[in-house]
């Protein structure tokens, strides 16, 4: 008789939940990375504009005004990306907490399953030993 874990359907459900949560967490990680990359690009562009402005001493008023507006727009974009990054990190932290909760629930069932399987193997070995002992005693009594 093969080992059967009575909570196997629940364990399969927990494994499935864990895989789904891993995918959600992966999406959150990718989102944080995308926003971080976009924020870094904005920072690079701000440094570039600032560097160009410092190297050009003979700028006319319109160019100075254009550069200032460009910096203002980049600052607004940076602030918005920082806001998005904060929200994404909060979602990522929440997804991680949920993943840990689901992982713990699945792991508890896995441990229970392993213990029951070990008990089953032990009992099966004990039964087999009893059968062997009974056969030995029967042979000995026949002599």
Count helices and strands (H / E) in the chain: 2, 0
Separation of alpha carbons 106 and 57, rounded Å: 66
Does residue 75 sit within a domain?
yes
Separation of alpha carbons 108 and 113, rounded Å: 9
- Tell me, what's the pLDDT at 57? 60
Domain range for 88: 8-106
Domain count, the chain: 1
**Are 32 and 89 within 8 A, CB to CB?**
yes
Does residue 65 sit within a domain?
yes
- Tell me, what's the pLDDT at 113? 95
Does residue 35 sit within a domain?
yes
Nearest one of 105, 93, 94 to 18, comparing CA atoms: 105
- Tell me, what's the pLDDT at 56? 66
Does residue 97 sit within a domain?
yes
Separation of alpha carbons 114 and 118, rounded Å: 6
- Tell me, what's the pLDDT at 58? 65
Does residue 37 sit within a domain?
yes
pTM equals: 0.73
Does residue 21 sit within a domain?
yes
The 10s digit of each residue's pLDDT in 53-87 is 766 666 677 777 887 898 899 999 999 999 999 99
- Tell me, what's the pLDDT at 142? 82
60: which DSSP letter?
A: -
Q: What are the residue ranges in the chain where pLDDT is below 70?
A: 54-59
């Amino acid at each position: 008789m093969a080992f059967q874990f009575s909570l196997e359907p629940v364990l399969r459900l927990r494994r499935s939940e864990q895989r789904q949560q891993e995918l959600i967490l992966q999406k959150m990680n990718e989102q944080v990375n995308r926003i971080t990359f976009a924020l870094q690009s904005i920072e690079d562009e701000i440094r570039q504009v600032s560097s160009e402005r410092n190297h050009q001493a003979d700028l006319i008023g319109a160019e100075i005004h254009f550069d200032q507006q460009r910096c203002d727009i980049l600052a607004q974009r940076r602030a918005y990306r920082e806001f998005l990054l904060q929200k994404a990190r909060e979602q990522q932290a929440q997804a991680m907490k949920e993943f840990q909760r689901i992982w713990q629930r699945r792991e508890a069932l896995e441990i229970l399953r392993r213990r029951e399987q070990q008990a089953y193997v032990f009992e099966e070995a004990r039964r087999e030993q009893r059968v062997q002992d009974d056969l030995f005693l029967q042979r000995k009594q026949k002599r």
